[in-house]
Structure 1
Amino acid sequence: MAIAIVDYGMGNLHSVSKAVERLGYEALISSDEGEILAADGVILPGVGAFADAMEHLQESSLDATVQKVAASKQPLLGICLGMQLLFSTSEEHGIHEGLGILPGSVVRFVGGDYKVPHMGWNKLQYNDQNNPLFTGLDEGYVYFVHSYHVLPEVKSDLLATTDYNQSVTAIVGRDSVFGMQFHPEKSGDLGMNLLRNFLKITGSSLKEVTF
């Protein structure tokens, strides 16, 4: 079976798909609920504004599909905005409800003598070294571009942080649901290896690896 990449009109579908294929797995870009629910694992990408993304998901009923994925324990990975959408609310351009899969809120960087958006390479700090997402991986640098960050309500959902004038949520996870604030496919070897570990978690069949 394939790894389904949710197509709701907002996200780096091509770059995520190519990264999955480079790691030796079959990628399926889809907006069809049946195909998504039948996949070995699901990736929810996202680029743009939170409210627009939720509107697109709701218009296509893909919000309910992604919630079904999480409830079924099918491995799910949210990337960048896709990670933020997993949470309860966002304050980006008003207060908006998210998918509510993980409790927490998305807030803007405020105050301090630092640039917003947060843009650049920052080092990850793992909170749970035993999580399968980190198997065989040392802490290292990944590439961030974001103006809003997540405040999880449950401490154990916070798998990794980075430092940007404050502790910033970088990776979240609970059971089979994961999220990365950065784009792993644009974050060098560590990013690709984190994506590889997620793909291993799905149990999907490995094809020829070219990365």
Structure 2
Amino acid sequence: MIAIIDYGMGNLHSVSKALERLGYEYEIVETPDQLLKADGAILPGVGAFGDAMRNLRDQGFVEAIREFADSGKPLFGICLGMQLLFSQSEEHGQHEGLSIFKGAVRRFQGDYKIPHMGWNRLKFLQPESPLLQGVEEGYAYFVHSYFLQPETTERETLIATADYFQEVPAIIGRGNVFATQFHPEKSGDVGMKLLDNFAKLVKEGVKHG
């Protein structure tokens, strides 16, 4: 069973509907105990980084998500959920993240449209990743004003990037933890195949950690 973590800031409906279309069982979970019983988990997210971390702390999810990641069971962050996996964010002040990966969340700076919103082509850096099996290097749907800046030591976590006046980390992963800056559930065949690959890892009980 795949847990979709409900901490008040996730696009639960679209993610759950995508899993339904793919034929996988899921449960929307609101407590750490529910999360830790799951075979895999999705951390969605829409909104501000600081508010999200406060909600996760208030519901006791911070340590539970770290424990889940350490367990070797597959974990997938989406959009803000991807950013939360990193050390810190400068969105509306300085905020500490889950620190599963090392790096910071920065705001786009430039004379161009912010937020970055729309379809951008993915560039695969690790086509052998289990998340990319059978996935074509197509387009994905992004909506964000902040981007990830992994520490140099974390460059190997980049599975795919996109270009928006600079390199934008689009898919990251290490061991059993994966995440996308874009919304796979809104990214057509490319996104649905990514979710399907993740769900297969959960179903198979594969531990990549």
> Which of the five TM-score ranges fits, normalised by the shorter chain?
over 0.9
- Check whether the contact 1:124–1:162 (CA below 8 A) recurs between aligned residues: yes
**Aligned residue for 2:175?**
175
Q: Which amino acid letter does the alignment assign opposite residue 5 of structure 2?
A: V
Deviations 1:115-149 (A, max 9, x none): 10000100000110100101011200010000000
What is the distance in 1 between the residues matched to 2:176 and 2:41?
Answer: 10
Q: Which amino acid letter does the alignment assign opposite residue 167 of structure 2?
A: S
- Check whether the contact 1:12–1:47 (CA below 8 A) recurs between aligned residues: yes
Structure 1 gaps, min length 5: 206-211
- C-alpha deviation, 1:39, in angstroms: 1.1
- Check whether the contact 2:122–2:161 (CA below 8 A) recurs between aligned residues: yes
- Check whether the contact 1:12–1:46 (CA below 8 A) recurs between aligned residues: yes
What is the distance in 2 between the residues matched to 1:126 and 1:89?
Answer: 25
Alignment partner of 2:142 out of 141, 144, 152: 144
- Check whether the contact 1:41–1:204 (CA below 8 A) recurs between aligned residues: no
Give yes or no for the alignment of 1:91 onto 2:90: yes
% same residue: 60
**Aligned residue for 2:30?**
31
- Check whether the contact 2:69–2:75 (CA below 8 A) recurs between aligned residues: yes
What is the SS of the residue equivalent to 1:53?
helix
**Aligned residue for 1:184?**
184
Alignment of 1:11-26 (within 5 A): 11-26=10-25
What is the distance in 1 between the residues matched to 2:204 and 2:175?
Answer: 17
Structure 2 gaps, min length 5: none
Ranges of 4+ aligned residues in structure 1 off by more than 6 Å: none
- Check whether the contact 2:31–2:60 (CA below 8 A) recurs between aligned residues: no
**Aligned residue for 2:77?**
78
- C-alpha deviation, 1:32, in angstroms: 2.2
Task: Compute the RMSD of aligned alpha carbons.
Answer: 1.1
Q: Which amino acid letter does the alignment assign opposite residue 115 of structure 1?
A: K
- C-alpha deviation, 1:31, in angstroms: 1.4
- C-alpha deviation, 1:107, in angstroms: 0.3
Alignment of 1:1-211 (within 5 A): 2-111=1-110, 113-153=111-151, 154-203=154-203
What is the distance in 1 between the residues matched to 2:41 and 2:204?
Answer: 11
What is the SS of the residue equivalent to 2:87?
strand
Change (3 A) 1:204 1:15: farther
TM-score, normalised by the number of residues in structure 1: 0.94
- Check whether the contact 1:25–1:204 (CA below 8 A) recurs between aligned residues: no
- Check whether the contact 1:3–1:204 (CA below 8 A) recurs between aligned residues: no
